[in-house]
Amino acid sequence: MASVVQSIEEEARRIVDEARERARRIVEEAEEEAKRILSDRSYLEELEREKRRLIEEAEREARRIVEEAERQAEEIRRRALPRVRELAREIARIVAGV
């Protein structure tokens, strides 16, 4: 029973960690692209605005991904709880010999 809960929690952690990693990569790629573009001085101001826009967009997307992953993890936990309780009752019945 505890291993079921533990595996569910590990899966939820894995989903959140993957979402965070994807978000980190999105932000990192946006920053690298912005640095590459900014090397040309003639477009500096325009490109700086574009850099901020890209980073803000990436951060919004990253937050959305993390929030969705957290919702999925919570749903996994919510669905697992009744099953864990059911398993506990079954184990108690078996131990009690009922």
- Domain extent, residue 16, equals 2-96
Sign of the four-CA dihedral 19, 24, 25, 26: positive
pLDDT(4) > 90: no
Q: What tens digit of pLDDT does each residue of 14-60 get?
A: 888 888 899 999 999 988 888 877 676 666 788 788 889 999 999 99
Query: What is residue 2's predicted lDDT score, i.e. its pLDDT?
Result: 66
CB-neighbour burial class of residue 47 (10 A; exposed 0-12, middle 13-18, buried 19+): buried
Which of 51, 25, 56, 28 has its CA nearest to residue 38?
51
Q: State the total domains in the chain.
A: 1
Q: Angle CA(32)–CA(28)–CA(47) in degrees, nearest 5?
A: 40
pLDDT at 40: 65
Q: How high is the pLDDT of residue 60?
A: 93
If residue 72 lies in a helix (H) or strand (E), which one and from where to where? helix 44-96
